[in-house]
């Protein structure tokens, strides 16, 4: 799948009621945490760095459902070149 790479700021397409509190960018992917503790990721996912349980890339921000299903609240996120690290609160 083709994933666009943007070298300039772009509007983020999230539901209107969500407020972003943390942002981190890897070399080809991005992750944000909302004030409610939800993690959204998008970009190149070849190594599973988006956290959706697969290697699918996406141009659209998607919520990481595994955290929701486990009752975990994301507190912080740091993206590396092909990795994403999150700190969670139970």
Question: For residue 2, what pLDDT is reported?
Answer: 62
Question: For residue 17, what pLDDT is reported?
Answer: 83
Determine the Cα–Cα distance for residues 88 and 70; give it in Å rounded to an integer: 11
Determine the Cα–Cα distance for residues 44 and 58; give it in Å rounded to an integer: 7
Question: Contact at 8 Å (CB) between 10 and 30?
Answer: no
Taking the chain (90 residues) in consecutive chunks of 10 residues, what is each chunk's mean pLDDT? 68 81 93 96 94 93 96 97 94
User: Which stretches within 1-90 are classed as H helix?
Assistant: 65-69
Burial of 29 (0-12, 13-18, 19+ CB in 10 A): buried
Determine the Cα–Cα distance for residues 79 and 90; give it in Å rounded to an integer: 21
Question: For residue 57, what pLDDT is reported?
Answer: 93
List Cβ neighbours of 2 (8 Å cut-off, separation of 6 or more). none
């Amino acid at each position: 799948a083709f994933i666009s790479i943007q070298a300039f700021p772009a509007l983020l397409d999230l539901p209107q009621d969500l407020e972003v509190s943390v942002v981190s960018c890897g070399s080809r992917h991005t992750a944000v945490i909302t004030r409610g503790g939800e993690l959204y990721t998008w970009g190149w996912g070849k190594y599973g760095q988006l956290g959706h349980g697969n290697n699918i890339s996406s141009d659209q921000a998607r919520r990481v459902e595994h955290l929701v299903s486990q009752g975990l609240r994301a507190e912080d996120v740091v993206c590396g070149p092909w990795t994403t690290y999150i700190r969670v609160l139970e």
